[in-house]
Structure 1
Amino acid sequence: MNKFLPLLGVLLLSACTTPYHPPVTVRDSKPFAGMAQLLAESPNKELDVILVHGMCTHDQQWAVDTINTLAKAADRAYIPLPALPDKAAPSSQEIEVVTATAKVGGGTIRFNALIWSGLTAPLKQLLAYDDTGTPTNCATDEVCKPQRASVNGKLKDTLLNDCLSDAIIYQGDSKEFIRRALAAAITNVMEDKAKAGRDNGAAVPLVLVAESLGSKITFDALNTMLRNDEARSKRAAGTVADRLAYLFMGANQLPLLSLADRDTRLALEDKQIRRTDSLSQFLDQLPKRRSIVKPLTVVAFTDPNDLLSYLLLPAHYDSNKVAIANVLVSNDKTYFGLLENPYPAHTTYLENADVSQAIVCGLPAGGHCK
C-alpha cells in the first residue's frame, strides 16, 4: 500500500489547479499602472485610498489586514499595523471608518476603510436559527437542527445566510438607510481631508477599492450625493468625481444587482432595455474638466468560478470617460476541473496576492514597487 502513496499524492496535486495564477488580462483591456506609480507621479507624493467591503460580515480586522496587504505590496519595508486584540462588533447605527497612514515608496498613502456590516447585522440575526449545528431529532426536539452535509452546511451558513442576505437586505426597504449612511461616511472622510489641508495646492489622486455589493452601494450613494441639494454632501461627491483616478473592483456584481433597478416589462414588450448601472450613471456626472486629467481607470477582477461575479463590458461605458480592464484571477484551487469552493471564490479577492500586487504595481507590472 505504501508504494502507492506517492502516486496518490501526485494525482491529488495534479488534480488541484489554479488556472488564472498568474492573472490573465482579458483581450482589449486597457493596461493600468497601479497605485505605486500613481503615488510616485503625484505632485506631493501623496495618495488617498478608500476601501469598501462587499457582502458578508466584515469587521475592523478586515480593514487592518487589507491596509497591511496593500501597503506591503507597495513597499516590502513597510511595518504592518498590529492585529486588533479583540474583534470589535460592528455598529448597527453608522458606518465605521478605520483610518491609517502608510509611508511607502518615498510617499504617503492615507487609507480610509468603510465598514458597513453593522447596518445589516440586526436583520441577519433573524436567520440565526438556521445556523448548522449538532443535528437534533426534528420530529421531537424543541430545537430543530437538521442533518446537513458538511459542505452544504458551511455554504448555507456563510454564502447564503451571511453573504447573499446582505444583497437581499440592500435591495429592500433598508436600501435608503444604508445609502444615506454611506453618503454620510464619504462626506465626513472627504471633509476631514480638506480640513487637514492635505491637498497643499495640488489635487491628491484618489483610489477606490470596492468589493462585490460594496461597489453598488458606493456608486448608488455617490450618484445620490451628486444630485443632492444638500451642499456638504454634493461638495464631497464632487471632490470624489474630480479626484478619482482608479476604481478597483473585486467580484463585480453590477450587472446582476442592476437587474433590480430595471423594468422587466420592457423586455417582455421587446423594447430596448437601457444598459445603464450605477457606475455608468456616475460617469455621466463626471465634470468635463477634472483635476485628475487622465480618464478614470476601472479594473474588474473576476474569478470565473465565482458564481456571483461578472466581467465589465467596455461597450456599456463611455470610452472617453473611462478605461476598462478585466483581469481573471484564481482565488482558490480548482479540484479535478470540477469545483472551486464558492465561498473563497467570492470573498477572498483582497487576500489574493495576485490581486493586491496588480492593484499596487499594475498590469503589466511597473517598476515602482519596492
Structure 2
Amino acid sequence: MKKLLLLSISLIISGCASFGEGVTTAFLNKQKEKDLRECRVDGKSFGGMQGNYDGSNNLLKVLMVHGVGTHIPGYSTQFQEKLAAELGLDEMSSHYKEIKLVNKEYPDQDLGVLRVRRLLDQEQDEEMLFYELTWSSITNPQKEKLAYDTSGEYSFRRAEVNQMLKVFSNDTSPDPMIYLGKHSQDVILASFRTAFCWMMGRDWDALPNESQELCTVGQTAVEHLPDEDFAIISHSLGSRIVMDGMKSMASRVSKAQEGEPTSTEAAFITDFQKKRTPFYLMSNQLPLLDEAAIAEKNSASLKFKV
C-alpha cells in the first residue's frame, strides 16, 4: 500500500509539473504570435495634437493631471517621450523648470508641484511645452494615517501578495473619498487652477527655472491668450479634477463678469470664453465618481448597521 501511495503521489506531482510547464510554454508562445485583433475607434475623426500644428501657431501647451495614488514629479516622463516620438519632436530641453504651486486662498497649504519641459522638432518649427501637475502631496497626509496597517507590526503576518495588495489599496482607494470632502476638493481644484494660470501668456524663456511665487494673469497673458493653444491630458481621478477645475474657472469668470471687471479682466473673460481646449481622458472612472458623489450627499439620511 505504501509503495502504491508513493507511486500515486509521484504521478500527481509530475503531472502538476508537466501541466505547469505546458501552461507556461503556451503563454510564451502566445506572446510571440502577431496580434491580429482589430483596433476599432468609433466617432468623428479629429486631428489630435498633431492638428494643432496645422494652423498658424507652432506652439502647443499640454497640461497632464495624474489620478489616484501617490505620484512624484517626473511620473509622466515615459508618456512625454512616447508622445514626442509620435509628433516628431526629437529635441528635448536638457532641464525642466519646477514651480512650487502657491495660491493666495490657501497660503499655508502645499498645493503640489508643476514641472515644465520643452519639446521641439529638429527644424525648431514646432514646439510643445509639457506641464506636469503633481497634486498627490495634498492627500498624502491623510493617507499616512493608514500607514500602521502596512507597517512591520502587521505586514509579516500576511502573505507577500496580500501585503502588496494592501499597500496598493491603502494608497489608491482613499483618494476619491478624500476628494469628495469639501475642503480637500477646493484645495485640489486650487492646485489645478494655479497650474493652468502658469500656462497662460508665458513662453519657455518667460518661465522661472524654480519658483514659489504667486501666479497672476496680467496684461501679457491677456494679449497672448487668443493665439495660444492648450490641451489637457488626465488619468483616472485626474479626469474628474479637470472637469471640476474648468467648471470652477468658468464660475469665477462668470462672477467677475457680473461685477464691474477692469478692462484687463473684461478682455480676458471675452477671450477665455472663446477658447476651445481639447481633453484627452485616459482610464477615467467618471461614472463611478459620480455615483460616489451621490452616495456622499445621501449618506446623511441613511442609517447603517455594522
Q: TM-score, structure 1 length as denominator?
A: 0.55
Matched with 1:136 is none
Contact 1:59 1:90 in 2 (8 A): no
Larger-gyration structure (1/2): 2
Match status 1:190 vs 2:214: no
Flag the 1:16–1:206 CA change in 2: closer, same or farther, 3 A.
same
**Which whole-Å CA distance do the structure 2 matches of 1:132 and 1:15 have between them?**
40
Deviation at 1:188, TM superposition (A): 3.5
Match status 1:66 vs 2:79: yes
Matched with 1:157 is 167
SS in 2 for 1:127: helix
Note the aligned Cα RMSD (angstroms): 4.1
Number of residue-to-residue matches in the alignment: 248
- Could you tell me which amino acid in structure 2 is paired with residue 68 of structure 1? E
Structure 2 gap ranges (5+):
1-13, 103-108, 204-216, 299-306
Flag the 1:120–1:237 CA change in 2: closer, same or farther, 3 A.
farther
Matched with 1:100 is 117
SS in 2 for 1:248: strand
Deviation at 1:180, TM superposition (A): 2.5
**Which whole-Å CA distance do the structure 2 matches of 1:219 and 1:234 have between them?**
24
Per-residue deviation, residues 285-319 of structure 1 (Å, max 9, x unmatched)? xxxxxxxxxxxxxxxxxxxxxxxxxxxxxxxxxxx
Deviation at 1:117, TM superposition (A): 1.0
Query: Identity of counterpart residues, as a percentage?
Result: 24
Matched with 2:105 is none
Matched with 1:224 is 248
2:70 to 36, 44, 57: 57
Contact 2:71 2:136 in 1 (8 A): yes
**Which whole-Å CA distance do the structure 1 matches of 2:161 and 2:269 have between them?**
43
- Could you tell me which amino acid in structure 1 is paired with residue 164 of structure 2? K
**Which whole-Å CA distance do the structure 1 matches of 2:35 and 2:265 have between them?**
41
Flag the 1:146–1:171 CA change in 2: closer, same or farther, 3 A.
farther
Matched with 1:246 is 278
1:212 to 225, 236, 247: 236
SS in 2 for 1:56: coil
**Which whole-Å CA distance do the structure 1 matches of 2:173 and 2:44 have between them?**
31
Deviation at 1:104, TM superposition (A): 2.5
Contact 1:42 1:205 in 2 (8 A): no
Per-residue deviation, residues 329-359 of structure 1 (Å, max 9, x unmatched)? xxxxxxxxxxxxxxxxxxxxxxxxxxxxxxx
Q: TM-score, structure 2 length as denominator?
A: 0.65
Deviation at 1:209, TM superposition (A): 0.5
SS in 2 for 1:227: helix
Structure 1 gap ranges (5+):
134-142, 267-370
Per-residue deviation, residues 206-241 of structure 1 (Å, max 9, x unmatched)? 211011101111211221221122579998787666
SS in 2 for 1:221: helix
SS in 1 for 2:278: strand
